[in-house]
Structure 1
Amino acid sequence: MRSFSYAAPATLDEAVRALTEAGPGAKVLAGGTTLYDLMKLDIETPPAVVDVRALRELAGIDTAGQELSFGAGALMADVAADPVLRRDYPALAESLSKAASQQLRNMATIGGNLLQRTRCAYFRGGPAFPCNKRQPGSGCAAIGGLDRGHALLGGSDACIATYPGDWAVALIAFDAVLDVAGPRGKRTLALADLHVEPGDTPAREHTLDWDEIVTRIRVPVTAAGRGSTYHKVRDRESYAFALASAAVAVTLDGGGAVEECRIAVGGVATRPWRCHDAERELAGAVLDRRSARRAGEAAFAGARPGTHNAFRVELGARTVAEALRIAGERAVP
């Protein structure tokens, strides 16, 4: 790990000032569960680190109002344990409780979790492997290589690295928005506009400016929350990244037909992936085994499998269908 300067500001304004004064390349330290790893691997080499863990402006959880509001500095474990979230928005709670280990969830923040970087072994494997995300223009070893865990959706000729998170997948299904602060003031953006596909510039992963800090995550209140789930399929039951996951929320009418449907998938795309075609497939249909399967297939209609990951197209379709079954049972009054 290379040397760096360290600042622990007492307020958000001070944090933004410290980040700006440190210049491009400076990093925000929240839980540190991702940043420390990347610094040890010499992937992140910030000249300065700004510690925001103690900022009151980033704290707090409010699930009692007209929207769900989470400070970006709230811990994953605390948000996952919120009783209102567990009862009325199980998909959100499950996306956190099924992520990482309990020890990491006790340290990691929900704001930092949104910005974690890919777990692609080539990206993390050092200069022995070409990686356009780590070294632009060097190539992508995953294309034509060992791509079992790589993206089926949203990839490009330059990168097929998978976005690793769970929380953002559930949030995008619920139309979450982010509040952001920087030297040019405060702004709000949809979570759907945060992450970007790799295209020709895989090193650019999100739309935040280098001197901006996520301060709050807000989720509109919806009746679809109760009929929701985050279903995650992985190689082992805990502390593993998704081979395929699905965040699903539905409301049903008295005859079992779908009134509202929200579907997003994770572990299979280069960013959190909302499945609008799958949602349209279910609109007005009776939610049963066949319609759930059709929706699962629609979610992966645009998949581009590589050498070793084609099995995850079928796995992904089944994951969506099973998530719809679980959500449908929860949605029944």
Structure 2
Amino acid sequence: MRPFSYERVPDQAAVRRGVPQSATSRAAPVPTMLLAGGTTLLDLMKLDVLRPERVLDINTLAPKLSAIEADAQGLRLGALARMAAVADDAAVRREFPVVAESLMLAASGQIRNMASLGGNVLQRTRCSYFRDVSYAACNKRNPGSGCAALDGYNRLHAVLGTSEQCIASYPGDFAQALIALDAVVEIEGPQGARRIPFAELHRQPGDRPDVETTLNPGEMIAGFAIPAGPWARRSRYVKVRDRESYAFAAASAAVALDLDGDKVRQARIALGGVATVPWRATAAEAALAGQVLDEASAERAAEAAFRDAKTHGENDYKPELGRRTLVRALLEAKRMEIA
């Protein structure tokens, strides 16, 4: 690990005055980064992937940015709330089970105790070419150098939202629950506070894989707001991975259903492990609208979800695994007992 200076952000006013941008903001990275749980940042610093000269600890803001508040309007979660605390919250488990499940199935118990929600949605890809600096060809780490994964090891790489410059998959779980439930991101920075749909936070790689989010320089995530809705309680997160503990998704699905008997009033579907960003499967949602939900209609929706999938050899299995994962999630959500 390279030498760096360490400071604590004194208060939230300092954030509004402007914290230096992170490596995932819209402009070129600067050598200052924020520290919350540290479960991604310190890991990548040790690997020499990230090289900040200055680390700002924002845990001093935890008293104001760790809220877990559920009411008739929905759920509000502070960016510094820890994954384990949210997963264990009784109201979250009852009213928004897909949120609790997505967090409980992530990482290990020790990491969930440390990791913050804001840091979790901004975690970087697990692509081995990104995380190993001995490989020069990684457009996400070294813009313009190429993508070694295109013709290399890509078994866990994306099949949706890819480009000729990058096929790295987004690794998180919680983000799929957020995008399925139409969450809003609360952001603070030097230009004041703003709110955007969570679906607008991440950028597909296109020709700039190194630019991963729409955060402006100096901005940080302050929290998430998830609106209440008739689909929230009937929601499910299914994750398929190589092992049952501490492994990233080969495919996952977050679903939330509003049903009239067996008929779908509205379906909300997000896919993980198969895309470059948290992926809202709008074609699958449209395929289910007004249909009786059974195995056949679920399979049609899954076909629609992966109609544009593009594979690269070792990940040829992913569209089929993704379809089966989505069908399972839909049928399990339908069978849920709702009090």
TM-score between both structures, scaled by the size of structure 2: 0.95
Q: State whether residues 15 and 50 of structure 1, in contact with CA within 8 Å, keep that contact through their aligned partners in structure 2.
A: no
Match of residue 143 from structure 1: 150
Match of residue 326 from structure 1: 332
| Inter-partner Cα distance in structure 1 for 2:277 and 2:337 | 28
* Greater alpha carbon shift after TM alignment, 128-137 vs 76-85: 128-137
* Alpha-carbon distance, 1:302 to partner: 0.8
Equivalent residue runs for 1:152-171 within 5 Å: 152-171=159-178
Match of residue 41 from structure 2: 35
Match of residue 294 from structure 2: 288
Match of residue 220 from structure 2: 213
Match of residue 254 from structure 2: 247
Q: State whether residues 153 and 314 of structure 2, in contact with CA within 8 Å, keep that contact through their aligned partners in structure 1.
A: yes
Q: Deviations over 1:65-114 (max 9, x none)?
A: 41210010000000001111111211110000000000000000001101
| Inter-partner Cα distance in structure 2 for 1:73 and 1:199 | 30
Q: State whether residues 57 and 215 of structure 1, in contact with CA within 8 Å, keep that contact through their aligned partners in structure 2.
A: no
| Inter-partner Cα distance in structure 2 for 1:35 and 1:142 | 23
Structure 2 residue 129 is matched with structure 1 residue 122: yes
| Inter-partner Cα distance in structure 2 for 1:47 and 1:329 | 52
| Inter-partner Cα distance in structure 2 for 1:16 and 1:101 | 33
Q: Deviations over 1:199-239 (max 9, x none)?
A: 11110000102311110110001120111100000000010
| Inter-partner Cα distance in structure 2 for 1:325 and 1:74 | 31
User: SS of the counterpart of 2:149?
Assistant: coil
Q: Deviations over 1:150-208 (max 9, x none)?
A: 00000100000000000001100000011111111111111100000101111000010
* Greater alpha carbon shift after TM alignment, 16-25 vs 104-113: 16-25
| Inter-partner Cα distance in structure 2 for 1:70 and 1:269 | 25
Match of residue 187 from structure 1: 194
* Greater alpha carbon shift after TM alignment, 317-326 vs 291-300: 291-300
Pick aligned residue for 2:103 from 96, 103, 111: 96
| Inter-partner Cα distance in structure 1 for 2:328 and 2:126 | 26
| Inter-partner Cα distance in structure 2 for 1:100 and 1:262 | 25
Match of residue 52 from structure 2: 46
| Inter-partner Cα distance in structure 2 for 1:21 and 1:326 | 41
Letter of the 1:11 partner, please give it.
D
| Inter-partner Cα distance in structure 2 for 1:294 and 1:21 | 43
| Inter-partner Cα distance in structure 2 for 1:20 and 1:123 | 23
* Greater alpha carbon shift after TM alignment, 59-68 vs 86-95: 59-68
Q: State whether residues 24 and 210 of structure 1, in contact with CA within 8 Å, keep that contact through their aligned partners in structure 2.
A: no
* Alpha-carbon distance, 1:50 to partner: 1.1
Structure 2 residue 69 is matched with structure 1 residue 69: no
Q: State whether residues 18 and 218 of structure 2, in contact with CA within 8 Å, keep that contact through their aligned partners in structure 1.
A: no
Q: State whether residues 16 and 181 of structure 1, in contact with CA within 8 Å, keep that contact through their aligned partners in structure 2.
A: yes
Match of residue 241 from structure 2: 234
Q: State whether residues 9 and 18 of structure 1, in contact with CA within 8 Å, keep that contact through their aligned partners in structure 2.
A: no
* Alpha-carbon distance, 1:8 to partner: 0.9
Unaligned stretches of 5+ in structure 2?
23-28
Letter of the 2:264 partner, please give it.
V
Unaligned stretches of 5+ in structure 1?
none
Number of positions where the alignment pairs a residue of Structure 1 with one of Structure 2: 332
Identical pairs, percent? 52
Aligned CA-pair RMSD? 1.6
Q: State whether residues 19 and 189 of structure 2, in contact with CA within 8 Å, keep that contact through their aligned partners in structure 1.
A: no
Q: State whether residues 233 and 338 of structure 2, in contact with CA within 8 Å, keep that contact through their aligned partners in structure 1.
A: no
TM-score between both structures, scaled by the size of structure 1: 0.96
Match of residue 12 from structure 1: 12
User: SS of the counterpart of 2:175?
Assistant: helix
Q: State whether residues 61 and 74 of structure 1, in contact with CA within 8 Å, keep that contact through their aligned partners in structure 2.
A: yes
Shift in alpha-carbon separation, 1:292–1:285, aligned structure 2, 3 A: same
* Alpha-carbon distance, 1:9 to partner: 2.2
Letter of the 1:72 partner, please give it.
A
